[in-house]
Amino acid sequence: MVCPPRSGLAAATLASSLSLIINLTGCAGLLLENDGDRPATARPLPPGIRLTVGQLPSSGGCRLTYSRYQPAQPTTTAPVIIGHGFLRSRHRMTDLAIALAANGIPAATLDFCNMRPWTGAHVQNGRDMLALARHLDASPVIYAGFSAGGLAALLAARMDAASLGVLTLDLVDSQGLGTAAARRLRVPLLGLQGEPTNCNAQDNAQAIFAASPLARMQRIPGASHCDFESPTDRWCLLVCTTPPPAPPADASEPAPLPAQILAMATRAVQSLQAGTPIAIGPAMALAGETLLISRQGKVGRVPRRRIQTEVAVRSEGMAADQQLAYPLPVERAE
């Protein structure tokens, strides 16, 4: 029997131990470091975006810090409140906030100051997201989040009558909280999900999407948990398993997965804010169709077609002003 080198054995043991801790927390995350008020990276803001940082008291007893990204020429009055993953910080969601603001959508990220290694404080996190929305006079509002932050976003939307909808990024449930909230959710829930891995609790959010007729999930082939926060770090990459890469759809060089996810998340938010039928694109891989949901809950479907086209779809009983014209690459079902 040949023993591995001590350094290799120690590294393997550390990774296994960290992975076990994450699975035991049941909080959907990775978060091995709470990077608090330290910026993840020094990223210059694109022209036309103003960043302000503030604090407000949490009803949980601590003070939460938030970053607000305001475009010079907003295209909507409904901002997006963005939650981070378990034991992470608002800085890990910087790229999403910037992507939204660059498209004229005001966004705010916040630190979940009630999170601890032994508790996700998910319900309190939802209350904190709602409190930030109220603090910023955000009505209407969209809630979004990654991992445990996605769960908090779902809970906040369930509590907030001013919510237009929810966007989740590799959502993870904890003790059935998300499933229970989804059953009573009255606004659309759109989710982008990676492959089942140790850090998304083997894709346990499927029960959440199945619980609501207003929910729809888009699988991102080959995506790991770390692809959904941006910028990520070495801790996430160390602890979270990486699924095999998805085979390329064609010979062209695809954009990096984090960039694809940011683009899809931005399109999903734009659809939610439009107050018209909602589509996640490019194509709904699981059911073989794209689901469209109106604010009133009416549902329409786009059949798959193997062409790039401008699709205009109206579901039965859907008003003409709710009709969606949306460029979707879909496949024809022969």
332 and 236 share one domain = no
The pLDDT tens digits of the residues spanning 88-139 come to 999 999 999 999 999 999 999 999 999 999 999 999 999 999 999 999 999 9
205: helix, coil or strand? coil
Radius of gyration of the chain (CA): 20
> Residue 294: pLDDT above 90?
no
In-domain check, residue 310: yes
> Residue 177: pLDDT above 90?
yes
DSSP output for 164-209: EEEEEES---STTHHHHHHHT--S-EEEEE----GGGTTTTTHHHH
Q: Which among 165, 115, 146, 132 is positioned nearest to 227, based on CA atoms?
A: 146
263 and 282 share one domain = no
| Contact (Cβ atoms closer than 8 angstroms) between residue 227 and residue 220 | yes
323: helix, coil or strand? coil
37 vs 155, residue with greater confidence: 155
Among candidate residues 275, 306, 326, the one where a domain is terminated: 275
In-domain check, residue 118: yes
Tokens of 177: 């909280």
Neighbours of 334 (CB within 10 A): 6
173 and 303 share one domain = no
Q: How far is CA 17 from the centre of its chain?
A: 27
Q: Which among 241, 261, 147 is positioned nearest to 195, based on CA atoms?
A: 241
Q: How confident is the model at residue 276 (pLDDT cuts 50, 70, 90)?
A: low
Angle between helices 148-159 and 122-135 (to 10 degrees): 60
> Which of 35-44, 121-130, 233-242 shows the lowest mean pLDDT across its residues?
35-44
Q: What is the largest CA-CA distance in the chain?
A: 73
> Residue 195: pLDDT above 70?
yes
330 and 229 share one domain = no
In-domain check, residue 84: yes
> Residue 30: pLDDT above 70?
no
Domain that holds residue 288: 278-334
In-domain check, residue 168: yes
How many structural domains comprise the chain? Answer: 2
| Contact (Cβ atoms closer than 8 angstroms) between residue 23 and residue 201 | yes
State mean pLDDT over 55-66. Answer: 96
Among candidate residues 275, 304, 323, the one where a domain is terminated: 275
258 and 287 share one domain = no
- Rounded CA separation 209/205 (Å): 7
> Residue 224: pLDDT above 60?
yes
What is this structure's pTM?
Answer: 0.75
- Rounded CA separation 152/178 (Å): 9
β-pair partners for 216: 190
DSSP 8-state code for residue 104 = T
Percentage with pLDDT > 70 across the chain: 67
